[in-house]
A and B are shown apart, each in its own frame.
Chain A
């Protein structure tokens, strides 16, 4: 167990290092001159003054070699200093933490709701395999994965905010503001988690060890509880972890549509403004979160199914 954890940690360190290089380089491959962008964003329309540009480059250390810049960036990042936004001049760390908190909240609400809907739906579909209810659930999940958020979001706003006036449509000033973005975001995880839990449950329920447990005298319901759920939860957990990590990166579409100041919107604005320190640190954070979640999920597998580590 300890060896397993250590090996995973070593793996994580390597992944993060590689990712840091890419995150650092990404803003540069766009081929735009950050100094020029910054200046233009400040003094609109006026032709940039070469002297001022040079001063900005100097200030931001953009004249040094990429390698030196990377070293300096990584060094201070490790110390917790992610630099300052080129646009707002606020510390990038603070911007990210604020945005992450909001996205984390939105993600948690979205996925809690998704699980509450999809686990019973999946189990029900499995229990009624081939019946009309099963067919209906399968059909709904198939439609669900195909509906894009940029279509569903405005539709929900139109229906629940503008027409029915039940919930606010944009901003984030209270819990009720999370309803529509969470609903919009939840559609696809609901569809996928329903599918996977249905499949996992069907798979487990037809397993020989379920028959064997019944032969020991367990009722069907107790068999499902004692020997079914634990086994069926493995594939569900991996899909869930994937969604959690993915949503933590922030959904640009949903956060922009609903004006939620989370990771998605922060990154979106960062890219629009070519805010290099923000983009770099943001990418790094998103990937690091994804990696950490994967490791957590892996560790959780070994708790649920103690034989997992032997299979790898």
Chain B
């Protein structure tokens, strides 16, 4: 395994062929299958895909928060110069919460019900900066003010049960910001919130990223979220990355048939803007393209045999634009009007 860091000094996170598998009834689920991408300093990258496509597994694998039956089976993760998968457990603890902050989908259950909000927000400082209890508390109050929580002194003294979901996510954001991380991993931070609150939280996240020069991996079902704040987009399908591009490229000129379906669904605007699950097909993967069963393009392009038997690779067509599809690779996409 190589310990060298990526050459590009703008790159903050480089994920290289990261694979995480789950053992389930003597069968392996490749929840993240050789996932590769990178994030530049200060960049907001969206990770989209339907339920079960492996977004959460990918995010948690980066922070090495995978528990059995899951296991990271291969690949590399570089955060700056540091190869995370080569760290021992203590070194990794020093990275979590300090250089990487995390947000989760259900903010209220992420708070310890018996612990005051202020203590949880200040905890990263207590862990990573050896800050005194009193100083951590006053910094926490300041952070709560930063994330626009009214009456932060009062709120710091409250418990998870006393606050709303939107408020709880602000608390989680304040916690994640406490040690001023370089990277924020936000796993569907707005999915569980009211629509009006969603927009406020997104705006807050974007603003904090800008002010602090912090990069964010933003996981979401919702292309609307991506359109609002992401610089670039990664599309996942059945454990694999199938497309990557700038937000503009992905939303305006999708190439991969799955991305096209996503964009079409999103513009059909389901009530909550979430992606419609067309049909889950993570199980029983054959040799070929995982989107084969749901794809109309291979028939039209006359390459069905190849698509069924051979896995397409993620091909870079232009700097930063990657697509995993035989038809696109062969230039047949345009021929049939994609």
Best-surrounded residue of A208, A216, A219, A307 (most CB of chain B within 10 A): A216
Which residues of A in the span 259-312 have a Cβ within 8 Å of any Cβ on B? Answer: 304-307, 310-311
B65 within 8 A of A: yes
Which partner residue on chain A sits nearest B64 by CB separation?
A214
- Say yes or no: A217-B94 contact (C-beta < 8 A), given A208-B104, A212-B102, A307-B159: yes
Is the beta-carbon distance between B114 and A306 smaller than 8 angstroms?
yes
Contacts of B89 in A (CB 8 A): 219-220
- Say yes or no: A219-B97 contact (C-beta < 8 A), given A227-B115, A307-B159: no
Is the beta-carbon distance between B114 and A231 smaller than 8 angstroms?
yes
Is the beta-carbon distance between A215 and B96 smaller than 8 angstroms?
yes
Contacts of B102 in A (CB 8 A): 212, 215
B113 within 8 A of A: yes
Is the beta-carbon distance between A211 and B114 smaller than 8 angstroms?
no
Is the beta-carbon distance between B114 and A230 smaller than 8 angstroms?
yes
B49 within 8 A of A: no
Cα separation A227 to B90 with both chains bound (whole Å): 19
B175 within 8 A of A: yes
CB distance from B72 to the nearest CB of A (A): 15
Cα separation A214 to B63 with both chains bound (whole Å): 10
B94-131 interface code vs A (CB 8 A; 1 in, 0 out): 11111011101010011111110000100110011000
The 8 Å CB contact of A213, one of B123, B162, B179, is: B123
A218 within 8 A of B: yes
Cα separation A230 to B115 with both chains bound (whole Å): 9
Cα separation A209 to B112 with both chains bound (whole Å): 5
B93 within 8 A of A: yes
CB distance from A269 to the nearest CB of B (A): 46
CB distance from B33 to the nearest CB of A (A): 23
CB distance from B116 to the nearest CB of A (A): 8
CB distance from A130 to the nearest CB of B (A): 10
- Say yes or no: A217-B93 contact (C-beta < 8 A), given A227-B115, A307-B159: yes
B157-196 interface code vs A (CB 8 A; 1 in, 0 out): 0011110000000001001000100000000000000000
A207 within 8 A of B: yes
Contacts of A306 in B (CB 8 A): 114, 159
Cα separation A310 to B160 with both chains bound (whole Å): 12
- Say yes or no: A217-B112 contact (C-beta < 8 A), given A208-B106, A211-B65, A212-B172: no
Contacts of A227 in B (CB 8 A): 112, 115
Residues of B within 8 A of A (CB-CB), count: 34
CB distance from A204 to the nearest CB of B (A): 10
- Say yes or no: A307-B114 contact (C-beta < 8 A), given A211-B65, A217-B94: yes
- Say yes or no: A217-B95 contact (C-beta < 8 A), given A209-B109, A306-B114, A307-B159: yes
Contacts of B106 in A (CB 8 A): 208
Contacts of B101 in A (CB 8 A): 215
Which residues of A in the span 237-255 have a Cβ within 8 Å of any Cβ on B? Answer: none
- Say yes or no: A213-B112 contact (C-beta < 8 A), given A208-B104, A307-B161: yes
Is the beta-carbon distance between B113 and A231 smaller than 8 angstroms?
yes
Cα separation A216 to B172 with both chains bound (whole Å): 10
For chain A, the bracket of interface size reads 20 to 34
Cα separation A118 to B290 with both chains bound (whole Å): 50
Cα separation A220 to B90 with both chains bound (whole Å): 10
Cα separation A211 to B115 with both chains bound (whole Å): 15
Cα separation A215 to B106 with both chains bound (whole Å): 15
- Say yes or no: A217-B127 contact (C-beta < 8 A), given A208-B110, A304-B114, A310-B161: yes
Cα separation A310 to B161 with both chains bound (whole Å): 9
CB distance from B136 to the nearest CB of A (A): 12
Contacts of A212 in B (CB 8 A): 102, 104, 110-111, 172
Is the beta-carbon distance between A218 and B123 smaller than 8 angstroms?
yes
CB distance from A37 to the nearest CB of B (A): 55
CB distance from B74 to the nearest CB of A (A): 23
The 8 Å CB contact of B175, one of A211, A216, A219, A310, is: A216
Contacts of A310 in B (CB 8 A): 161
Cα separation A254 to B172 with both chains bound (whole Å): 54
Which partner residue on chain B sits nearest A311 by CB separation?
B161
Which partner residue on chain B sits nearest A214 by CB separation?
B65
Cα separation A230 to B124 with both chains bound (whole Å): 20
Cα separation A208 to B168 with both chains bound (whole Å): 14
- Say yes or no: A217-B128 contact (C-beta < 8 A), given A307-B159, A307-B161: yes
Cα separation A212 to B104 with both chains bound (whole Å): 8
Which partner residue on chain B sits nearest A130 by CB separation?
B68
Is the beta-carbon distance between B123 and A305 smaller than 8 angstroms?
no
Contacts of B63 in A (CB 8 A): 215
The 8 Å CB contact of B127, one of A218, A231, A305, is: A218
Best-surrounded residue of A215, A219, A230 (most CB of chain B within 10 A): A215
Cα separation A23 to B210 with both chains bound (whole Å): 73
Is the beta-carbon distance between A209 and B161 smaller than 8 angstroms?
no
Cα separation A220 to B97 with both chains bound (whole Å): 14
- Say yes or no: A217-B113 contact (C-beta < 8 A), given A306-B159, A310-B161: no
Cα separation A216 to B179 with both chains bound (whole Å): 9
Cα separation A201 to B86 with both chains bound (whole Å): 30
Best-surrounded residue of A211, A212, A213 (most CB of chain B within 10 A): A212
B77-95 interface code vs A (CB 8 A; 1 in, 0 out): 0000000000001100111
* Residues in A lying within 8 Å of B, measured CB to CB: 207-209, 211-220, 227, 230-231, 304-307, 310-311
Contacts A216-B124, A217-B127 given; 16 further ones with Cβ under 8 A? A208-B109, A209-B110, A211-B104, A213-B123, A214-B96, A217-B98, A217-B124, A218-B97, A219-B89, A219-B90, A230-B114, A231-B113, A304-B114, A307-B113, A307-B114, A310-B161
Q: What are the 8 A-B residue pairs with the smallest beta carbon separation, nearest first?
A: A217-B97, A216-B97, A212-B110, A215-B102, A217-B96, A208-B109, A307-B161, A209-B112
